[in-house]
């Protein structure tokens, strides 16, 4: 069984733009534990008050799988462990596991630690022994090990032997600068595994783009402990992405790292951690990304319809993801047919699908992009159905933006729509013109359709497609919306940014209303009856 060690809460927070509150860290701790993580590194209690408080509060959480690790360094070169505040903070954290790093490179011993080689071996052995004697399991992170080994292999190995002599439970080889290549990792780990008799681990950074490969090949070479972060967040280019490492170990090797059945929760965990970290989840991330099983080319889609998985190396459901068939100017009728099947349109009419496909290609030529706007595609399909009745239709809108002395900028929008046999005319103001349009449309609809009150615009993206045309450039607007349970994306494009925004807003509200009322509003027959 491979031991998984997550350092999202410590090494991950060193990534640019990543900042977690104590509550954030506690939430992620519970998520990782529920998933089946073996060790969760909570932070460095000797470095800041927030991490020290985390260790006080995490004791109140009843963990089912994970053990909490506190991170720190070996004692200072001039001190004994018992006199070092950092070592004392590790004990005060009451974490059952302590992870300490020490220098494994002669260059770092001399130039960074500024001590002699023998003293460095002393502080490694004594720091490990001090913590072991006080009942802690100790993981020794051999910092800069691979660089140190390539420069002076005998000394790098001596640091490991010092940690083993002190009683370390696990020795971790760290590619701290992230530049070691997989064949070097394999050779060195194989050699080290033949020399030490305690658990061997790998800690890889991604500066050479090889962190995941290095972690997996280290497992093949004898490592049984893998460190990394969720989604690969971390300093500089990040750490080994545990999401990819875990999936590769579970699916591509004979080793196991998780309790049975937990791999299917991987995508949920990955996206949940991104949400808490307030960072965009990488759509192209292996296994867990939104695009990981997305297919766009018509030839690929046609092949997938004949044999599921012929363009996929693993079933998406194994990692909790799903297959997506994108619709764009590269699509064939198979893409459209798949979308119609997915939304349950019983009469899968090839003539209608052809009309929709032609319309999509025409609109994409104008600047629309439907591959990231599945809700707009679904609405196009439904609108081509014989019994489509919209929830509302635009009659007209007007937007005024002005700047007045003493009042600053003001945006006001009026919207006139038809819903059934009613004409609704509403005005509203906002910080900007799109916000005013959004508010006016909500006011028009909410009395008749109260579900509108739960719709939220969660992302608004604007892209100028032909900037060389200046203020007459074609503009594409992509809107992501949510009802608290699901999210959907819609698109609009125009040489007028307000019109582009309106087209995306219109689809967003129509799709949200369809989700909310399709199952119970018989008067709004959006699905085909034939």
pLDDT 10s digits, 107-150: 999 999 999 999 999 999 999 999 999 999 999 999 999 999 99
Secondary structure of residue 56 in the 3-state scheme: helix
Tokens 């080290």, located at residue: 192
**CA-to-CA distance for 212 and 208, rounded, in angstroms?**
11
Residue 5 has φ and ψ, to the nearest 5°, of: -125, 115
pLDDT computed for residue 239 by the predictor: 98
pLDDT computed for residue 346 by the predictor: 53
- Give the ranges where 63-195 is alpha helix by DSSP (H): 85-92, 106-108, 117-133, 145-151, 153-166, 182-193
Q: Which of 182-186, 424-428, 462-466, 492-496 has the lowest mean pLDDT?
A: 462-466
Q: What letter does residue 111 receive in the DSSP assignment?
A: I
Going by DSSP bridges, is the β-strand pair 408-419/393-404 parallel, antiparallel, or unpaired? antiparallel
Q: Give mean pLDDT, residues 448-457.
A: 91
Q: Which of 174-183, 214-223, 449-458 has the lowest mean pLDDT?
A: 449-458
Residue 522 has pLDDT above 50, yes or no: no
More confident residue, 331 or 220: 220
Residue 478 has φ and ψ, to the nearest 5°, of: -120, 125
Residue 521 has pLDDT above 60, yes or no: no
pLDDT computed for residue 301 by the predictor: 59
Q: Which of 67-71, 178-182, 269-273, 362-366 has the lowest mean pLDDT?
A: 362-366
Please report which confidence band the pLDDT of residue 305 belongs to, taking 50, 70 and 90 as the band edges.
low
Is the fold of 3-259 the same as that of 392-448? no
pLDDT computed for residue 509 by the predictor: 93
Q: Give mean pLDDT, residues 449-458.
A: 90
Q: Are 39 and 5 in contact (CB under 8 A)?
A: yes
**CA-to-CA distance for 90 and 93, rounded, in angstroms?**
5
pLDDT computed for residue 371 by the predictor: 60
| CATH 2.40.50 matches 392-448 | no
Q: Give mean pLDDT, residues 357-381.
A: 74
pLDDT computed for residue 84 by the predictor: 96
Percentage of residues in the chain with pLDDT exceeding 70?
89
pLDDT computed for residue 470 by the predictor: 75
Please report which confidence band the pLDDT of residue 404 belongs to, taking 50, 70 and 90 as the band edges.
confident
Tokens 């001039």, located at residue: 78
| Torsion angle in degrees (nearest 10) through CA of 162, 165, 168, 170 | 70
Q: Which of 29-43, 324-338, 373-387, 489-503 has the lowest mean pLDDT?
A: 324-338
pLDDT computed for residue 225 by the predictor: 98
Please report which confidence band the pLDDT of residue 335 belongs to, taking 50, 70 and 90 as the band edges.
low
Query: Which tens digit of pLDDT belongs to each residue from 147-177?
Result: 999 999 999 999 999 999 999 999 999 999 9
| DSSP state string for 411-464 | EEEEEEEEETTEEEEEEEEESSHHHHHHHHHHHHHTTT-GGGGG-EEEEEEEEE
Q: What letter does residue 93 receive in the DSSP assignment?
A: T
Residue 338 has pLDDT above 70, yes or no: no
CATH of 3-259, one of 3.30.110.40, 3.30.300.30, 3.20.20.70, 3.20.20.100: 3.20.20.70
Count the alpha carbons within 13 Å of 103 in the hemisphere toward its beta carbon.
Answer: 23
CA distance to 37, 71, 502, per residue, from 496 (Å): 50, 54, 10
Q: Where are the domains of the chain?
A: 3-259, 294-369, 392-448
Tokens of 419: 């819903």
pLDDT computed for residue 334 by the predictor: 60
**CA-to-CA distance for 248 and 236, rounded, in angstroms?**
24
More confident residue, 343 or 42: 42
């Amino acid at each position: 069984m491979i031991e998984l060690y997550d350092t999202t809460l410590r090494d991950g927070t060193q990534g640019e733009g990543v900042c977690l509150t104590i509550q954030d860290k506690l939430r992620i701790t519970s998520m990782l534990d529920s998933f089946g993580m073996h060790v969760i590194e909570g932070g460095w209690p000797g470095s800041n008050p927030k991490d020290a408080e985390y260790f006080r509060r995490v004791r109140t959480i009843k963990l089912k799988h994970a053990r909490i690790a506190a991170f720190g360094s070996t004692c200072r070169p001039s001190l004994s462990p018992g006199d070092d505040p950092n070592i004392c903070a590790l004990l005060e954290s009451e974490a059952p596991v302590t992870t300490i790093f020490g220098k494994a490179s002669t260059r770092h011993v001399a130039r960074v630690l500024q001590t002699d080689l023998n003293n460095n071996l002393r502080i490694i052995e004594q720091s490990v022994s001090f913590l072991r004697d006080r009942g802690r399991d100790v993981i020794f992170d051999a910092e800069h090990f691979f660089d140190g080994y390539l420069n002076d292999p005998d000394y790098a190995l001596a640091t490991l032997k010092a940690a083993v002599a002190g009683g370390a439970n696990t020795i971790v080889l760290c590619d701290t600068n992230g530049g070691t290549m997989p064949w070097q990792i394999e050779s060195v780990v194989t050699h080290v595994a033949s020399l030490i008799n305690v658990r061997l681990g790998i800690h890889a950074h991604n500066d050479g783009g090889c962190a995941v490969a290095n972690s997996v090949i280290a497992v093949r070479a004898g490592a049984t402990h893998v460190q990394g972060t969720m989604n690969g967040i971390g300093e500089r280019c990040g750490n080994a992405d545990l999401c990819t490492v875990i999936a590769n170990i579970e699916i591509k090797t004979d080793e196991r790292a998780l309790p049975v059945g937990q791999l299917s929760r991987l995508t949920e965990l990955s996206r949940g951690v991104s949400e808490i970290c307030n960072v965009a989840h990488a759509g192209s991330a292996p296994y867990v990304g939104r695009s990981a099983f997305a297919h766009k080319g018509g030839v690929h889609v046609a092949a997938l319809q004949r044999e599921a998985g012929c363009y996929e190396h693993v079933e998406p459901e194994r990692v909790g993801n799903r297959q997506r068939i994108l619709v764009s100017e590269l699509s064939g009728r198979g893409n459209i047919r798949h979308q119609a099947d997915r939304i349950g349109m019983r009469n899968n009419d090839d003539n209608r699908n052809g009309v929709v496909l032609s319309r999509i290609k025409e609109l994409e030529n104008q600047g629309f992009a439907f591959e990231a706007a599945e809700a707009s595609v679904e609405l196009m399909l439904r609108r081509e159905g014989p019994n489509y009745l919209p929830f509302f239709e635009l009659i007209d809108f007007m937007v005024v933006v002005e700047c007045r002395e003493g009042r600053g900028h003001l945006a006001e929008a009026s919207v006139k729509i038809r819903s059934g046999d009613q004409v609704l005319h509403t005005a509203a103001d906002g910080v900007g013109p799109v916000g005013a349009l959004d508010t006016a449309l909500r006011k028009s609809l909410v009395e008749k359709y109260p579900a509108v009150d739960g719709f939220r615009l969660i992302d608004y993206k604007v892209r100028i497609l032909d900037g060389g045309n200046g203020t007459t450039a074609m503009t594409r607007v992509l809107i992501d919306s949510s009802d608290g349970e699901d999210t959907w994306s819609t698109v609009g494009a125009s040489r007028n940014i307000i019109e582009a925004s309106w087209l995306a807003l219109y689809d967003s509200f129509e799709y949200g209303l369809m989700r909310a009322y399709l199952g119970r509003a018989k008067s709004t027959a959006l699905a085909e009856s034939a």
